[in-house]
Structure 1
Amino acid sequence: MYKMMVSDLDETLLNDDGTINAQNVTLIKRAIATGFKFVPNTGRSFKSVQPLLKQLALDNCPAQYVISYNGAAIVENLNNQIINTRGLEFSLAQQILAAGLIDPTIDAHIYTVDELYIYNISASDKAYMAERGVTYTLLDKPDITFLQSENIMKVIFETSDDDLRVGIKTAVCAQVGKQVEVTFSSQRYVEFNKIGTNKGQATTDLADKLGYNMDEVIAIGDNSNDISMIKTAGLGVAVANAIPDVKTVAKHITQKTNNEGAVAEVLQEYVLSKQ
């Protein structure tokens, strides 16, 4: 019997416009009422997930969790207590930021545990952030010296140009070698975490804390930063709109897309129908 689902948010749990399908809300609440754990596993900050947690009746709940920053932080919802972090060393974050700005159209996001800073934000990224209610502080230059005493979770870059995203990955890896985990998300971001930090490792860490084995865990996602958790979970699921690489590693592919309640489809088939 499955005891926990870890779910990506954008393009998986959420509709394309950042809202959540009503079926997802209903079935997540139903599953939680049976003692099931529903854990957002996202590249985003746990702070930006709070309105969603309220919709799901998970906000400020004990023994319910969020995995943030592609696995760099695990947070218990009660009082947003930080359980574990896997941040970047400051000097490494500096190197990533400097190496990735290969074109003047690229913007950069720097996440600490509590804050998001954005340099050179594009119009499309600004709209994307607004749709999802993400708050941030703008930087007027790519200088993060003021963050040297902070715990930096990840550094990411935004561009809608596929070739530029690949170019960013190449440039950063040429500079820092094998010190980072590199993933892509939302057809706009290339993301850099500390090596060994990913959604799959964080899922394993949380399952261990809860005393679950991985055969009792479902993971669902759509993009490359979800592959590690989909491969790690007992049941790895790709939503119908997932990229081909995700579908290749998944044990199950939903009939529904993110806009049609794919998460609800999985909960009904693999959790609620078994009770």
Structure 2
Amino acid sequence: MKYKLIASDLDETLLNDDKHVGLKTLQAIAAARQLGVHFVPVTGRGFTLIRRTLTELNVKDAAQEYVISFNGAAITENKDERILTKKLMDFQTINILFQIGVKNQAVMHIYTLTDIYVYNMDKDEKEYLDKMGFSYCDFSQPSIMFLKDQPLIKILYKDKERANLDDLYSQIPASILEKTAVTYSSNRYMEFNQAGVNKGQGLLKLSQFLNIKPAEIIAIGDSANDLSMIRMSGLGVAVQNAATEIKDNANYVTSNDYNHNAVAEVIKKFILINN
């Protein structure tokens, strides 16, 4: 099979612990691009929050290069960060989720299309976000009325203890869960998007736009929010450090983890070796 598109998650997949792309991976991606293969970052982050990575990949502000962000809720062309598709959440839904978080003193992120607002920031989260080079606005007032007229696209709860996230989940009304898609990432986040949003659907939309068949796609990931794109792609890949559920659904599991150029391993084995 000749693959035409590589879709890769970022954190704990493409990026190492220093939140950079390894040299071997950069070289492999560049070689794949020379063969006409698209390399598409697919992330839960907003597209404005991965500019540093796009610069490393040498595709920042590049035409006909794309990003799937917010877990599939938005697709952008890198040139001028042109939005091709987006699926927003309504303010009422986000506000109900926010108030549940406030009641439980949770750390939360609220995302507009271009900005991130962090409520109840703690030291651990500040260190994590600063390490990734994020720009964000932190606030402490228990209200998001100042965001009522903004284009809201995602909200998440942060807690490293899954039991605490599960407790938060148990407090969400069924009427709200029906309107949202819930995913987990980075062993610290429970994320909420509009119902029907996932990385697989986002990748399918982009592949249709590019006239690429699912069988011609390689998808690489590590966490639960990567499962949908791994299942829909011709070659679903789990990096060595991936969750068991991801490995069980993958066609291939890398020998290397995200700190040791796992994505380069995939490109060399399935793209470059055939050329």
Q: TM-score interval w.r.t. the shorter chain? A: over 0.9
Partner Cα distance (2:23, 2:80) in 1 = 26
Residue 62 (structure 1) aligned with residue 63 (structure 2): yes
SS across alignment from 1:24: helix
Partner Cα distance (2:154, 2:205) in 1 = 19
Q: Deviations over 1:152-202 (max 9, x none)?
A: 110001111221011122222546131111111111111001110111100
Matching of residues 126-275 of structure 1 within 5 Å: 126-172=126-172, 174=174, 176-275=176-275
Matching of residues 84-103 of structure 1 within 5 Å: 84-103=85-104
> Is the 1:18–1:131 contact (alpha carbons within 8 Å) kept by the matching residues of 2?
yes
> Is the 2:181–2:193 contact (alpha carbons within 8 Å) kept by the matching residues of 1?
yes
* TM-aligned CA deviation for residue 22 of structure 1: 1.1
SS across alignment from 1:135: coil
Structure 1 gaps of 5+ residues are none
166-175 or 119-128: bigger deviation? 166-175
Q: Deviations over 1:23-74 (max 9, x none)?
A: 1111111111221111110011111211111111111111110111111110
Aligned partner of 1:8 in structure 2 is: 9
Partner Cα distance (1:9, 1:66) in 2 = 11
Residue 38 (structure 1) aligned with residue 51 (structure 2): no
Structure 2 gaps of 5+ residues are none
Partner Cα distance (1:73, 1:189) in 2 = 19
Partner Cα distance (2:34, 2:57) in 1 = 11
What is the TM-score normalised by the length of structure 1?
Answer: 0.96
Letter of the 1:238 partner, please give it: A
Aligned partner of 2:123 in structure 1 is: 123
> Is the 1:42–1:67 contact (alpha carbons within 8 Å) kept by the matching residues of 2?
yes
SS across alignment from 2:248: helix
* TM-aligned CA deviation for residue 151 of structure 1: 1.4
Partner Cα distance (2:179, 2:150) in 1 = 19
Q: Name the Cα RMSD after superposition.
A: 1.2
Q: Closer, same or farther in 2 for the Cα pair 1:273/1:142, shift >3 Å?
A: farther
SS across alignment from 1:79: helix
- Runs ≥4 residues deviating over 6 A: none
* TM-aligned CA deviation for residue 85 of structure 1: 0.3
Q: Deviations over 1:70-114 (max 9, x none)?
A: 11110100111011101111111111212234532x200000001
SS across alignment from 1:23: helix
SS across alignment from 2:171: helix
> Is the 1:102–1:168 contact (alpha carbons within 8 Å) kept by the matching residues of 2?
no
Letter of the 1:120 partner, please give it: N
> Is the 1:223–1:246 contact (alpha carbons within 8 Å) kept by the matching residues of 2?
yes
Aligned partner of 1:51 in structure 2 is: 52
